[in-house]
């Protein structure tokens, strides 16, 4: 059975939803406290959303120094699957497991609504059950979601095909505005060079069951449970 | 010797600073139309023990590089004084 560690920081608030979503695909999901250093043979680690350490200094900046993050760093270095959702994405950036930074939304408002995104990579442990180009409707809920990186880093992310999710630039057929935060190149999620570490701003755990009104996020968890990333078509989608 | 360190962290020039823009609009609405280029940063003050001013500054610089500022988007200014 797949062991899934959901890391709980002081201020995490999507940990229960994430546990539940992992359990519904048959995983042995459990909470690991931020002060722990043992991930208990985790196959996958999820850093859930929330406001770790009150977002003091910068979102994710303090959580990065939690004892558990050393274990997460080792897990990632060994090729283990890591998914950061929202605040978890911010923590992965601050921990330098992913490049770039998530800045205050361009419109300054906290944005909480469904958005449409396109899946661009299926060769990650969390997106193998989707198809390249598949459009998903997922909730976002963040104040600091504007992804930004140095120009050469952005070029590298595009050249290496490391954008996993992108806000749909074309609003046709969608009642929702594209790009809720002004992120560079409409980026909603990226992966590391090895493909095993993924950070996304949308919340798949809030859209993982039909009873929630949206179920497009369930694929992140079924992909994880399948345990085998599927090969992507090499072509990077044009926007 | 104890030194007091003042750190000023500012969003890097050229980056969108929506908070600064919002405050600039508010100033304009209050009749301060002459105000422009408003940018919002953060001030941090701390005391540290060090053997010399240059040692204190070197340590403070490490703190900024590792935690207090994000090198991707922020620049910082340091001032060190004996306290």
Q: What is the DSSP code string of A151-178?
A: HHHHHHHHHTT-EEEEE-S--TT-SS-S
pLDDT of residue A238: 39
Give the Å distances, CA to CA, from A200 to A85, A208, B56: 5, 15, 39
Domain of B62 in residue numbering reads as 2-82
Architecture in CATH of A3-226: 3-Layer(aba) Sandwich (3.40)
Would you write out chain A's pLDDT as a tens digit for each of its 239 residues? 899 999 999 999 999 999 999 999 999 999 999 999 999 999 999 999 999 999 999 999 999 999 999 999 999 999 999 999 999 999 999 999 999 999 999 988 999 999 999 999 999 999 999 999 999 999 999 999 999 999 999 999 999 999 999 999 766 666 677 899 999 999 999 999 999 999 999 999 999 999 999 999 999 999 999 974 444 443 344 33
> Which residue do the tokens 């909603």 mark?
A188
Longest pairwise C-alpha distance within chain B? 50
- Range B16-27 average pLDDT: 92
Phi, psi dihedrals of residue A224, rounded to the nearest 5°: -60, -40
Instruction: Give percent of chain B with pLDDT exceeding 90.
Output: 88
Contact A51, A9 (CB under 8 A): no
Q: Say if the ipTM goes beyond 0.85.
A: no
Identify which of B22, B67, B70 has the shortest CB distance to residue A108.
Answer: B22
pLDDT of residue A1: 84
Cβ pair A57:B19 closer than 8 A: no
Contact B39, B17 (CB under 8 A): yes
Chain B residue numbers with beta carbons less than 8 Å from the beta carbon of A94 are 70
Nearest CA in chain B to A108: B18
Quickly state the pLDDT bin for B4 (edges 50, 70, 90).
Answer: very high
pLDDT of residue A162: 98
- The Cα–Cα gap between B26 and B34 comes to 12
Q: Token digits for B66? A: 């590792």
Question: Reduced to 3 states, what is the DSSP secondary structure of residue A189?
Answer: strand
Q: Token digits for A120? A: 């661009």
pLDDT at B42 over 90: yes
Give the Å distances, CA to CA, from A88 to A11, A95, A215, B16: 12, 10, 21, 24
Q: Detail the DSSP E strand segments found in chain B.
A: 2-11, 42-49, 74-82
The CATH number for B49's domain is 3.30.1280.10
Of the candidates A132, A146, A142, the one whose C-alpha atom is nearest the C-alpha of residue A185 is: A146
Number of domain units in chain B: 1
- According to DSSP, residue A12 is labeled B
pLDDT at B40 over 50: yes
The alpha-helical segments, DSSP class H, found in B13-71 are 18-29, 53-63
Cβ pair A148:B72 closer than 8 A: yes
pLDDT of residue B14: 85
- Range B16-44 average pLDDT: 93
Cβ pair A104:B67 closer than 8 A: no
> Which residue do the tokens 């003042």 mark?
B6
């Amino acid at each position: 059975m797949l062991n899934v560690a959901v890391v709980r920081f002081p201020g995490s608030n999507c940990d229960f939803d994430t546990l539940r979503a992992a359990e519904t695909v048959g995983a042995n999901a459990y909470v690991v406290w931020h002060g722990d250093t043992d991930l208990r043979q985790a196959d996958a680690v999820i850093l859930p959303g929330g406001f770790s350490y009150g977002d003091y200094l910068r979102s994710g900046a303090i959580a990065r120094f939690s004892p558990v993050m050393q274990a997460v760093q080792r897990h990632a270095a060994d090729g283990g699957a890591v998914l950061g959702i929202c605040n978890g994405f911010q923590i992965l950036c601050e921990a330098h497991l992913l490049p770039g930074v998530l800045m205050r939304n361009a419109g300054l408002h906290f944005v909480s609504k469904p958005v449409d995104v396109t899946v661009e990579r299926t060769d990650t442990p969390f997106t193998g059950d989707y198809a390249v180009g598949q459009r998903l409707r997922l909730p976002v809920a963040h104040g600091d979601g504007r992804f930004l990186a140095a120009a050469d880093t952005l070029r590298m992310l595009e050249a290496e095909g490391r954008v996993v999710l992108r806000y749909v630039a074309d609003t046709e057929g969608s009642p929702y505005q594209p790009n809720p935060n002004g992120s560079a190149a409409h980026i909603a999620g990226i992966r590391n060079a090895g493909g095993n570490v993924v950070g996304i701003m949308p919340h798949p755990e809030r859209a993982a069951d039909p009873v929630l009104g949206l179920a497009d996020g369930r694929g992140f968890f079924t992909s994880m449970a399948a345990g085998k990333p599927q090969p992507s078509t090499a072509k990077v989608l044009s926007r | 010797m104890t030194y007091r360190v003042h750190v000023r962290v500012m969003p890097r020039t050229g980056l969108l600073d929506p908070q600064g823009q919002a405050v600039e609009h508010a100033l304009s609405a209050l009749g301060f139309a002459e105000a422009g280029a408003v940018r919002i940063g953060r001030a941090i003050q701390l005391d540290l023990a060090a053997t010399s001013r240059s040692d204190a500054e070197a340590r403070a610089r490490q703190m900024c590089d590792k935690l207090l500022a994000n090198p991707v988007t922020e620049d910082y200014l340091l001032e060190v004084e004996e306290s």
